[in-house]
Structure 1
Amino acid sequence: MVDEKIHSNNTNDDDNWSMKKDKNFVTENIYSTESYSHHTGSHQLKNNSNMEIYDLDSINKIKNNNIDIDIDNGDGYSHDINSNGSGDDDEEEENNSRTNLLMNTRIHRKLVNRHVQFIAISGVIGTALFVAIGKPMYYGGAGFLLIAFAMWCVPILAITVSTAEMVSFLPVSSPFLRLAKKCTDDSLAMMASWNFWFLECVQIPFEIVSVNTIIHFWRDDYSPAIPLVVQSILYLLISVCAVGYYGELEFWLSSFKIILALGLFIYTFITMVGGNPHHDVYGFRYFGDAPFKKYFPDGIDRGAHIGYFQGFLACLIQASFTIAGGEYISMLAGEVKLPRKVLPQAFKQVFVRLTVMFIGSCLCVGIVCSANDASLTAAINESRPGAGSSPYVISMLNLGIRILPDVVNIALITAAFSAGNAYTYCSSRTLYGMALDGYAPKIFTKCNKQGVPIYAVCVSLCWALISLLQLNSNSAVVLNWLINIITTSQLINFVCLCVIYLFFRRAYLVQKDTLPQLPFKSWWQPWTAIFGMSCALIMIFVQGYTVFFSKLWNVQDFLFNYLMIFIDLGIYLVYKLLWCRGKDKFKDPHTIDFMTDLREIEEHELDHSFEKFKFYLDT
């Protein structure tokens, strides 16, 4: 534990700060309450979570900021912190960073709760929620679409609460990946790290291609390289700024997504009750037109039951691609201010908001557009770009509303750009965390003076070049390839999250008496994690099942659906058998070291709490 010894540079007790006797100063800190009390001859700071008492008896002349704090963090050195909460080491590091741009490997904790929530929402909500959602509705009907999305939210909840428990406990950079190294074996940690980095990186070109297809709604007489260059430059410029500025920008970009979703909800309600140019009170007419449809991917009728089941599967597969869990929140953990307080709230709030948006969107598209609509059928068969295949836009055109489709298209460009921006952030921080654990070259730990891992950002952005595939292929085809790769990688990541959690839980229970309490505790463990893992594991093999129909078989589709399974398995086996020569063993839960990282977090919390303490003294 952190041992704080506070010394005054003046020992004259007569000059001590004055307060009313027994006056309490209470600040909220992480998962506990710290109380600052003045008693006769005693000043104490008590952390209720760890039951540690810090002696403040010798504080004098605090109003004059004449305080030194020595922190012994267990490394054998004494670190001085002055009254403004900053240390001599930090000041020296800041001065050095002015002359050496890439001298340090420390990122900065500047993100607050609203940043975390909106960045997480931004990473999950993209064009799929507004455009691609029309395709599964066409295959399975509005009823199956709503049921499938609602059902998939259940395993996502199981995975999210499992992730929240371990990430809130140890909120470091790339937390669940670094916990994989601590709690499992290095081979699994290596595989999970590279899979997640690949998952984040491949979504950057996906969003770039999405922007290109959206622009095609208006015109296509330009090179696809133009949006690639423009977006890549913007992503780079945004990413090299301090994380606080990034958080503010992403906060406003994400706000547009939320406004778009809420605006479409309002549009649905107003038009269904007759607020449209035709004054047609259509209510749930379109939803009931074809709520459940039979779907035969290869065109061979195998019976009604098989047809309905495949219609449902088409919707469930889309849900497994569209709905993500808490991994995007976890990637922010290393740069969040007061993470053990903020993250538990963020996990719960983001899941609820995303669930409302996903299920609400499924309900709305079924209300405004029939699954058998002729325009929707033509848009799916012709792979119309951008908003042209969105059920909302088709509804607007059917009702004779001519301006809103362009407004929606502009909003979709913002949504796609924001999602790509979030993936750039997450992928660079993932690579940074991998480098800290030795799974990537150490050069990727280097940060500029704003605390941004600049080399990791540049390498992650190189994946944007994959979007150039659309120069030789239709944009819709490239999008389909990327969707298949992303879906598989995302499902594998869900399995890894649950496995890592089970090992983390084992280690925590063994060391429970010597560790702080969990800031967030999930329910019905370990069965919750096992349930989430089982669902994700099943979907890994189900999501590409259509490729095995004789009429639909081709090597290209098979590879895009299942290649990541073989790549990840290869990484695991090569690292374990060849690199480690079979010596890589699973960690002993009794010897796993959580305290080293917890000390750093506690120092951050102490700095923040001392700032509040000083504020009260100055008032």
Structure 2
Amino acid sequence: MLFAFTFVTMVGGNPEHDAYGFRHWKDPGPMSEFLSTGPLGRFEGFLGSLWMASFTTVGPEYVTLIAGEAQHPRTYVKKAFKTVYWRFLLFFIMGAISVGILVPYNDPALVATFITNTATGSKSSGSPFIIAMRNMQITSLPHVMNALLITTIFSAGNTYMYGASRILYGLSLEGRAPTILKKCTKQGVPIYCVLVTMCFPLLSLLQLGNGSSQALTWLTNILTAGGLINYFVMSVTYIFFYRACAAQGIDRKTFPYYGRFQPYAGWIGVIGEGAIVLCYGYASFKPWNVAEFFTNYTMVLLAPVTFTFWKVVKRTRFIGPLEADLVWERPIVDSYERSTLSEPRGFWVEFLGWVGVRREKDGAKAGEGQGEMVEVR
């Protein structure tokens, strides 16, 4: 819907009949200066956008968490991972291009919301898309967009709640969190993990106060750095995994899903994420700001400390490529998938089942080549 809005309005389909096209890419330009002036300032502007975008770029790590509760993880998780590439292309890259087309970086409402933090009203009214609609004197569509954004926010919140509770549950199983968090309901839901996780969304209420909203900004910076470190660790872990496969003579193509352009993509992740983590809070040095430094680098300082502490206290060691267990719980997964009565189904078959149209195989007739039977219930 937003992409259609961008295209229609840029070719003149707006109340002002202004075919503005890519005007904002020329005036004031595609890149804003930040901290410095000239080419260096524009590069710093790019870095500032990169830090902010890092907070929203998530996806693969949540797909892996679902594997523990999927009926056919080797089938469903593989398909889910493949959609990540399209998600990044369509939602992140195309969304960023649309924002650059619709709103110039020096738009007063945009600056007041995201730069000077002096905007009045809710953050949703400061969305670049909403700002563009109001600049074009479109009165009804912003309300529709805010209503649709509620569904997106609910989906994101549901994902984060699921991910956080399952991570906490996994930590308790490994002895890195209190044992009481292992408690699950009859349906398999880690109830205490969910309750602990649901306490943290209350921090969002800080946004309601002008002064306390700064605390939420600090928390966002800390979480962003944590996410960057997460991707760095994932890249390092993958390189260790790749080395183990090569040392033990295991062909990665025999796995249900394997990464392409490896190990080069893994090293790109290590170097790229490492550079971003180290330079993430460079703005706190120009001029020196103690508060910003610690909000940007708290996780960077804390992660090596906790890692080293666990290595020393638990006396764990790094595993060599030939020692790595690449089988792990594979037999358990094999028996689990064989015990599942239902066959893997595609999205549309699953969707039709939700609305009451069920597609089933008649075992007796299937052997006679009669195919499948469609039953509407």
Shorter chain as denominator, the TM-score bin is 0.7 to 0.9
Paired letter, 2:16 = H
Residue identity (%): 39
Cα pair distance change 1:278/1:327, threshold 3 Å:
same
| 2:245 alignment counterpart | 508
Map 1:317-396; keep pairs closer than 5 Å: 317-380=51-114, 381=116, 382-384=118-120, 385-396=122-133
Change in CA separation of 1:525 and 1:354 when aligned onto 2, cut-off 3 Å: closer
2: CA distance between counterparts of 1:442 and 1:450?
19
Shift of residue 387, structure 1, vs aligned partner: 2.6
| Alignment match of 1:608 (pick from 324, 340, 354) | 340
Q: Take 1:529 and 1:272, find their aligned partners in 2: how far apart are those partners?
A: 39
CA RMSD of aligned residues (A): 2.6
| Distance of 2:184 and 2:248 partners within structure 1 | 34
Identify the residue that residue 226 of structure 2 maps to in structure 1. 489
Structure 1 residues without counterparts, runs of 5 or longer:
1-262
How far apart, in 2, do the equivalents of 1:435 and 1:370 lie? 48
Residue number in structure 2 paired with 1:538: 275
Aligned to 1:519, what secondary structure does the other structure show? coil
State whether structure 2 residue 311 is matched by structure 1 residue 573.
Answer: no
Note if 1:564 corresponds to 2:299: yes
Which residue in the other structure is 2:187 paired with? 450
What is aligned with 1:585?
317
Q: Distance in 2 between matches of 1:475 and 1:418?
A: 26
Deviation per residue, 1:525-548 (Å, 9 max, x gap): 222101111100100122211111
Q: Distance in 1 between matches of 2:306 and 2:20?
A: 55
The separation in 2 between residues aligned to 1:358 and 1:276, in whole angstroms, is 25
- 1:463-482 pair list within 5 angstroms: 463-467=200-204, 469-470=206-207, 473-474=210-211, 476-482=213-219
1:492 alignment partner, SS class: helix
Query: Which amino acid in 2 is paired with 1:285?
Result: R
CA contact (8 A) 2:113 2:123 kept: no
Counterpart position of 2:2: 264
SS of the residue aligned with 1:448? coil
Alignment CA distance shift 1:473-1:560 (3 Å): farther
Deviations 1:388-416 (A, max 9, x none): 32221122112111111222222223322
Deviation, structure 1 residue 479? 3.7
Return the TM-score normalized by structure 1. 0.52
Q: Which moved more, 1:464-473 or 1:269-278?
A: 464-473
- Equivalent in the alignment of 1:307: 41
Using the TM superposition, give the Cα deviation of residue 513 of structure 1 relative to its aligned residue in structure 2, in angstroms: 5.5
Q: Which whole-Å deviations, capped at 9, do the CAs of 1:270-302 have from their partners, x for residues lacking one?
A: 2122222222222222333222344243xxxx5
Superposition TM-score, scaled by structure 2 size:
0.83
- In the alignment, is residue 526 of structure 1 matched against residue 260 of structure 2? no
- The one-letter code of the counterpart of 1:291 is G
Aligned residues: 347
1:44-55 aligned within 5 A: none
Change (3 A) 1:516 1:289: closer
Residues in 2 aligned to 1:602 and 1:516: alpha-carbon distance in whole angstroms: 18
- Give the aligned partner of residue 250 of structure 1: none
2:169 to 429, 432, 437: 432
Q: CA deviation at 1:464?
A: 2.7
- State how far apart, in whole Å, the 2-side matches of 1:476 and 1:368 are: 27
Greater Cα shift, 339-348 or 538-547: 339-348
Deviation at 1:447, TM superposition (A): 1.6
Structure 2 residue 53 is the aligned partner of structure 1 residue 316:
no
Q: What displacement does 1:372 show?
A: 2.7
| Counterpart check, 1:599 vs 2:324 | no
Q: Which amino acid aligns with 1:555?
A: V
**How big is the shift at 1:455?**
1.4
Determine helix, strand or coil for the equivalent of 1:289: coil
The aligned amino acid for 2:169 is: Y
1:462 counterpart = 2:235: no
Higher RCO structure (Cα 8 Å, ≥6 apart): 1
Please tell me the residue identity of whatever aligns with 2:182: T
Which of these residues, 11, 14, 30, is aligned with residue 292 of structure 1? 30
Residue identity matched to 1:597: E
Question: What's the CA shift for 1:465?
Answer: 3.9
Per-residue deviation, 1:322: 2.2
Q: Secondary structure at the match of 2:198?
A: helix
